[in-house]
Structure 1
Amino acid sequence: MVIIFGLLGWAIRYKEAYFLLSGFATMTEAEQKEFLENRYPQKVGSMLIITAVGTLLLLPLLFTSFPYAAEIIFGYTLLFIFGGFIYLSKYELKHKRKKSYIISISLFVLVVGGVSALMIFTYQDYEVTLDNDQLEITGMYGQQLPIDDLKSVELLDEMPEIEFKTNGVGVGTLAKGHFNVKGYGNSLLYIHSDSLPIILIQTNENPIFLNNQSPSVTKDWFNKLRKYLQ
């Protein structure tokens, strides 16, 4: 992302690659002249370069213990790009400015609103219920499993090494979905990495690693599961 934004900004700002700007090639000569007099291309190029530099400066956060590094970097990029295009609408062609404002603001609301809604849904905690001989884990990547599909349950003092994500979400200290776990292969995770212990449920398919932010709740889930399996 840093490389793409940086190269696009450099090409537009310093190499006059105005063909990269949507609609420039189809403008009349008079419109292109007004466009360049407003210095719209140079400002777009500068905005892309600043976005790339800002993202690059934030990247070291990924190598720290800060839990929300990826979210901050993504949020900065998203807000700077869409906010930038709203601001730059005032340098558009005079007869297109109103339309540009409407499109830019609408995209900002749709994209930022959609991403925010997804993040809220992602951060929603999960619940575990045992009823009618069935284990249910609610929320994103939730599961419903018959008790008969559960082979064993044990309480771990630490979480085995997570090697990579295959189909899941990892935000902050929360991990939900399919991850490859060292020694267990493809596994289902519903864990808060900053909380222990961890419940390991062996099933007829994938192992499930599960816990709650509250250790007492985790132990309560474990005791109920163990009782059902007995």
Structure 2
Amino acid sequence: MLILFFIQLMLVLIFLLIGWAILQKEAYGLISSFRSRPKEEQEELIQNGLPQKTGKLLILTALVLLILLPLLFTPFPYALEVQIGVMVVMLLGGIIYLSKYEIPQKRKKSYIISISVAVVTFGILMVVFYLGFQEPELTLNENSFEISGVYGDQWNYEEITQVELLEEMPEVLIRTNGYGMQSISKGHFKVKDFGNSLLFIYKDHSPYLLVKTNDDTIFINSKDAEKTKDWYHQLVEQSGKVELY
């Protein structure tokens, strides 16, 4: 949690610093493509107020993110998602709004580009969040079990070396490739005492099912504790591998 806090705090400081430099020091070269514009266009954009309003947009975004930072330390399960969503909406919406201060002959093109970028970005984010929040299902087949969804796979029962039900999730040290949200972890992570692991877990929803195979260490659970326990008992029955619970 502290890592997320400091990352977002650093982002806030970067936005504040760039916005301040643009507004107070007239560092307009910090704005994308401004430096490459002809001198006449630069002067017209300054007269229209586009650089100044860009600086204000960054500062306003930073202040809103700063206000939302304490959400990370509340029980609200989607604090990080809300913060990301607000930041994206403010920045992309702001870019679209700033198109009205473009020079007249480039204004239409600016609207088309900024709206297109916003639509594509929102589309990608919606897909990412949808896939990330899909509840994984553990299905037992005749000779194997499989986990559905992103990062899911299939393993033969004969590969299993250990099945254990844990009341507490071991400390997750770092995400290497996956979704690491405040309420869910899905994908490849490093876990204390277990090393590289494949996670499909809802945080603060014990118990957690640990399955070790010849090649993988898997942690999975459901929001429904009884469902997780059912997975455990079924896997024990199928594999014959068990740790006392």
Q: 1:42 to 1:196 in 2, by over 3 A?
A: same
Partner of 2:66: 56
User: What's the RMSD between the two structures over aligned residues?
Assistant: 1.8
Question: d(CA) in 2 for partners of 1:204 and 1:27?
Answer: 59
- For the residue of structure 1 that corresponds to 2:75, the secondary structure is coil
Match of 2:195 among 174, 185, 189: 185
Contact 1:86 1:101 in 2 (8 A): yes
Return the alpha-carbon distance in structure 1 between the equivalents of residues 175 and 228 of structure 2: 23
Q: How does 1:81-100 map to 2 (within 5 A)?
A: 81-100=91-110
Question: Deviation at 1:28?
Answer: 4.0
Partner of 1:8: 18
C-alpha contact 1:67 1:171 (8 A) present in aligned 2: no
Q: Which aligned segments of 4 or more residues in structure 1 are displaced greater than 3 angstroms? A: 22-30
CA distance in 2, matches of 1:24, 1:157: 56
* Structure 2 counterpart SS, 1:24: coil
SS in 2 for 1:164: strand
Does 2:28 correspond to 1:18? yes
Count, aligned residues: 230
TM-score, structure 2 as length reference: 0.86
Counterpart of 1:215? 225
When residues 153 and 32 of structure 1 are mapped into structure 2, their CA distance, relative to the original with a 3 A threshold, is: closer
CA distance, structure 2, for counterparts of residue 103 and residue 68 of structure 1: 31
1:135 aligns with 2:145: yes
2:63 is paired with a residue whose SS is helix
My pick for the range that moved more, 98-107 or 1-10, is 1-10
C-alpha deviation, 1:78, in angstroms? 0.9
Task: Tell me how far apart the structure 2 counterparts of residues 189 and 29 of structure 1 sit (CA, whole Å).
Answer: 54
Partners of 2:80 and 2:156 in 1: how far apart? 36
- Percent identity, aligned pairs only, is 48
Task: Determine the C-alpha separation between the residues in 2 that align with 1:89 and 1:5.
Answer: 20
Please tell me whether the aligned partners of residues 162 and 181 of structure 1 are also in contact (alpha carbons under 8 angstroms). yes
1:120 equivalent to 2:124? Answer no
Counterparts of 1:184 and 1:149, CA distance in 2: 17
TM-score (norm 1): 0.91
Secondary structure at 1:201 match in 2 = strand
Counterpart among 30, 42, 46 of residue 32 in structure 1: 42
